[in-house]
Structure 1
Amino acid sequence: MPKTQPARGMRDFLPADVRRREYVIGVIKEVYERYGFEPLETPAVENIETLLGKYGEEGNQLIFKILKRGVHESSGEADLALRYDLTVPLARVVAEYRDKLPKFFKRYQIQPVWRADRPARGRFREFYQCDVDVLGSRSMVVEAEICAAASEALTALGFADFKIRINHRKHLTAILDAVQINEEDQTRALVVLDKLDKIGIEGVRTEFLELGFPAWVSTELFDFFARVEQGSESDNLTWNGHSLSEMRKFVEGHPEGEVALTELTRILDLVSAGGAAGKVVLAPNLARGLSYYTGAIMEITVPGLAGSLGGGGRYDNLVGMFLGQDVPACGFSLGLERIIVVMTEREMFPEALVSSPADIMVSIWNEGSVAESISLAQELRSAGFRVDLYPEADKLGKQFKYASARLIPFVAVIGDDERARGEVSIKDMRSGTQRSVKRESLAVTLRELL
């Protein structure tokens, strides 16, 4: 017998799962559209040269490659690949349609991506990203707006204990320069730093040694991070002031480091006036390994979850790889799967969403009343209700048992007596009570009961 489980790191989505996903996507879309973002979709498959070289060495290894087909299959070469993220395809779209897009292109995109990663809790090989990006402006207002949109989306979903951690790629360059890591080795160092939450301090120390960095390098870095962490128990405003002071001391006199701190200070000022006020904290150890980031980088964390609920940053050079001229850009991606995992564990979904696929089930009294039951179901659907129609003339007890198992709160019955009186009986499956109402009053009565 063939295996019936999906491939490792992939999942089937049963009805309850789909309802949860659609609920989360609906909330996020509503928030994004209130911020003026427009929808975009791109193909699942990209030319492989579109993706290679955009994510660093480790990212290249995680791309799902598609081998050439037909007579070229035996070559073992790949010419296509599954989409790794939504940002690089966006850059390609902007390069392709630049003259058709507005000066400031604000787009949101909610689609699946694929990575040949090792599956873990909340980490899959196929997963959805919920992206917002703004292209065309270098203003720090963009970072503030993106933080606000992501923050409001999570708040609308019921999250209250999240933090938006923020750092700057140029600050990372400055601190690596300060510990004498050569420019050609810095990309590899950032990839290792980005794994800090996965492998811990000792894991980072070990990998630094394996890369040939002296032991004192990681000691100095983690001493710096520890000094910043000394302010972690304070409120966010005090924490950010303390962090800026320590960051300034460590990169003092470094031109790029000074630029980074100026921009981070500006972002913090702007954020305090918008929807992410009180949520943004400086995190000088935040790396984010994707090689295309050029400015501020961001990540959202919640207690009890290794990794993040989302992340992003500024990438002013990426579109230029396709267009031949730089287009400033900044974006943020919420991880749908991780959001759903946390919301499920914390029982954050609305009870009605999780519990019931229909408001009412219409039963079938006997074979001669099938058409009447169909007609009643249609009347209720036209009135805006979610209606399930039992498909067979089973014993009424079996029909009630089926509705109860599916957590449908009400069952409509038109028996011989009800038909003679022009009525419909409504059985409340939660309390077990039953009442009869005139058929023309059924929709009003049901709406009151729900």
Structure 2
Amino acid sequence: MKIDNSPARGTRDLLPATVARRDHVLAAIVEIYHRFGYRRIETPALENLDRLTSGQGGENEKLLFKIMRRGLPEETEPGTRVNDLADLALRYDLTVPLTRFYGANHATLPTPFRSLQYGPVWRAERPQKGRYRQFVQCDIDMIGEESVLAEAELIEATTQALAAVGLTGATVRVSDRRFVAALAQAAGLDEAVWPAFFIGLDKLDKIGWDGVRSELEAKGLPADKVGDALERIQKLRELPATSIADALADAVPTLAEDVIADLATTTASLAEASAVSWEFDPTLVRGMGYYTGQIFEVMHPGMNSSIAGGGRYDKLIGRSLGKDVPACGFSIGFERIVDLLGDAPAEDSVAVLFEKDVPAARAMAVARELRREGRTATVLGRRGKFGAQLGRLEEWGFTSFVHLRADAEPGAPLEQRPLGAR
């Protein structure tokens, strides 16, 4: 029987050149995060199913890859529920595992704790361009910090990381879950319809104001109250940092003063960071159910979806620890950033080519000396037509080569020649 060598649907094999590009991007991001004091941790790919189905993961909980219990019989009784057959699942993000990690290890961690994670996550997406069932996330989180120092620092660190990998033209969108709830209340919408209102509002970029209005009214939300809410929102777009506090107070008089002050502090901090392009976006909602305060996303003109996002989730850790702990996080959409950036700079890599009549020990000695100089050197035997082999080396990512021949003069200096300039 012929074995299918293609990867599982919705997953990919990554060739060396692609992995090199990804490593380059990840190294640049991690270096910036380390400068801000974030320390890397690791959590398992598998989590208990009940933790991943706690109701806080939004639509992602419907995309779980569940793991069957060990020791199940070959057949089960008709009507057996899937969750009765599974007890574990692959993580769909890095935030939920982090909260369990903190609950188990908080006694040995500093306060605030600055966490850095990167690794694969899994979602049972419908495979299509740009959407994979296995993909990499890169997160930073600050746990134990009540003030908006957390929000401001997370945004600054992430925008610096994006700049470090060469991504320009991005814009940070900022809002607050508490503001969105207060807005719905001020417009007279019953709390029972808030989820529908939030979901509709989140589609503004895709279907426009008229589309949002029509969709909300079709769901039974009162037309006058929907109109009131949308009118308040339109007055709050494209506000400068100096005007946000007054504009929020006017648009939503019932909004708590601390929410206004927090948003004003965060946006003022962003305004002072000259390299950060930002905007207050009253339509920003984000899908995760665990956000309790400020939320933010990074948009780029080359991508229809956000390339990074996060927010404050002060209630989530309490599920593991038994008491609430302030927490805030930012997640980079690693796959989307890699796609936007294209090829990474070529690494300085030398191919040490040796003819059949040259001892392998000599070739290894030459490569050893190049490595002592800090170069990357690979020993390869000469094969086939010389020009064709050099072409293959260039395709494989080598930037130069050394050609070792038996007829070379003893003690003659080695000639290192660049590839691509033959």
* TM-score, L = length of structure 2: 0.88
Q: Which residue identity is paired with 2:145? A: S
Residue 244 of structure 1, CA deviation = 4.7
111-120 vs 291-300, greater mean Cα deviation: 111-120
CA distance in 2, matches of 1:119, 1:372: 50
CA distance in 1, matches of 2:18, 2:43: 24
SS of the aligned residue for 2:34 comes to helix
State the partner residue of 2:173.
165
1:426 is the counterpart of 2:399: no
Which of 217, 221, 230 is residue 229 of structure 2 equivalent to? 221
**Pairing 1:219-298 to 2, within 5 Å after superposition:** 219-229=227-237, 232=238, 239-241=240-242, 244-252=245-253, 254-256=254-256, 258-273=257-272, 275=273, 278-298=276-296
Q: Which residue identity is paired with 1:333? A: S
State the partner residue of 1:337.
335
Q: Which residue identity is paired with 1:225? A: I
SS of the aligned residue for 2:72 comes to helix
Give yes or no for contact 1:190–1:289 (8 Å, CA) kept in 2.
no
Give yes or no for contact 1:312–1:331 (8 Å, CA) kept in 2.
yes
State the partner residue of 1:63.
64
Give a deviation string over 1:254-274, Cα, whole Å, max 9, x none: 144x4322210122233445x
State the partner residue of 1:91.
99
CA distance in 2, matches of 1:204, 1:119: 27
Give yes or no for contact 1:94–1:319 (8 Å, CA) kept in 2.
yes
CA distance in 1, matches of 2:49, 2:105: 20
1:406 is the counterpart of 2:396: yes
10-19 vs 413-422, greater mean Cα deviation: 413-422
Give a deviation string over 1:41-90, Cα, whole Å, max 9, x none: 10001001111124355232122222323326735332111111111111
Give a deviation string over 1:4-23, Cα, whole Å, max 9, x none: 44333322211111111111
State the partner residue of 1:325.
323
Distance 1:72 1:293, change over 3 A: farther
Relative to its length, the structure with more helix (as a share) is 1
CA distance in 1, matches of 2:196, 2:71: 38
SS of the aligned residue for 1:390 comes to strand
- Tell me the percent identity: 36
CA distance in 1, matches of 2:179, 2:420: 59
Gaps of 5+ in 2: none
Give yes or no for contact 1:363–1:399 (8 Å, CA) kept in 2.
no
Residue 318 of structure 1, CA deviation = 0.6
132-141 vs 192-201, greater mean Cα deviation: 192-201
Give a deviation string over 1:349-370, Cα, whole Å, max 9, x none: 33x25xxxx6221112224533
Distance 1:62 1:398, change over 3 A: closer
CA distance in 2, matches of 1:82, 1:199: 33
* TM-score, L = length of structure 1: 0.83
Distance 1:259 1:72, change over 3 A: farther
CA distance in 1, matches of 2:165, 2:331: 16
Distance 1:34 1:57, change over 3 A: closer
CA distance in 1, matches of 2:187, 2:418: 70
Give yes or no for contact 1:198–1:307 (8 Å, CA) kept in 2.
no
Give yes or no for contact 1:418–1:425 (8 Å, CA) kept in 2.
no
Q: Which residue identity is paired with 1:312? A: G
State the partner residue of 2:373.
383
Give a deviation string over 1:393-449, Cα, whole Å, max 9, x none: 5454443343344353322122233144544343433332xxxxxxxxxxxxxxxxx
Distance 1:212 1:325, change over 3 A: same
Q: Which residue identity is paired with 2:315? A: N
Gaps of 5+ in 1: 233-237, 433-450
CA distance in 2, matches of 1:199, 1:139: 36
CA distance in 2, matches of 1:218, 1:180: 9
State the partner residue of 1:126.
134
Q: Which residue identity is paired with 1:153? A: A
State the partner residue of 1:185.
193
CA distance in 2, matches of 1:79, 1:218: 43
CA distance in 2, matches of 1:35, 1:370: 47
CA distance in 1, matches of 2:37, 2:187: 43
Give a deviation string over 1:16-46, Cα, whole Å, max 9, x none: 1111111111111111111111111100010
Cα RMSD after superposing both structures: 2.6
Residue 294 of structure 1, CA deviation = 0.8
Residue 278 of structure 1, CA deviation = 4.4
CA distance in 2, matches of 1:118, 1:293: 26
SS of the aligned residue for 1:363 comes to strand
State the partner residue of 2:41.
40
CA distance in 2, matches of 1:413, 1:398: 14
CA distance in 2, matches of 1:114, 1:107: 21
